Amino acid sequence: IPLLLQTAGGLDYGVTVPWLTMWSESMPWTVVPFAIPPQSMEQGVRLGELLRDFCQSQSTRIAIIASGDTSRRPRNMSEAARRPTADERVMSEVIVQNNVGRLTELQTEDACLRHPLIVLLATLHGLPWRGHIGAFDVPLTVGQLVAGFANA
């Protein structure tokens, strides 16, 4: 299963920005950021299963952040273009309904969030959880979906 450790420093919007948004002080734990290159749904599910097995074998709590933009939009977009796209609605419904199989309905294969979302939901598969959508926005030209997961 392809996996890339993110070793370069600097500001990246996949890991660093979400962490800095949640915690302004230095973090007292280890962060292991990795990137998931485009892969098949089967590979993403398998990676999620391996990640779940690893997390369940640990005695400490582990936080997982799946991040990526949901879509790109034109710079001079209309107010209507700021509404969720069909793919963003599917991603939202997948999270709320706990149904990773619906990700096959995505119309574009290149949504950055697609692969991390597959891995995250496969990691959570079989565990008692429920998802909720916290926010959706289109700052600049990128769709951002914020979701949370809690024990059911």
**What pTM does this model have?**
0.76
Residue-wise pLDDT tens digits, 90-149 = 888 888 988 877 877 877 666 677 788 888 888 888 888 888 998 888 877 888 888 888
Query: What is the 3 state secondary structure string of 16-68?
Result: HHHHHHHCCCCCCCCCCCEECCCCCHHHHHHHHHHHHHHHHCCCCCCCCCCCC
32 vs 50: CA distance, rounded Å? 16
Confidence at residue 50, expressed as pLDDT on a 0 to 100 scale: 92
16 vs 60: CA distance, rounded Å? 22
Confidence at residue 49, expressed as pLDDT on a 0 to 100 scale: 92
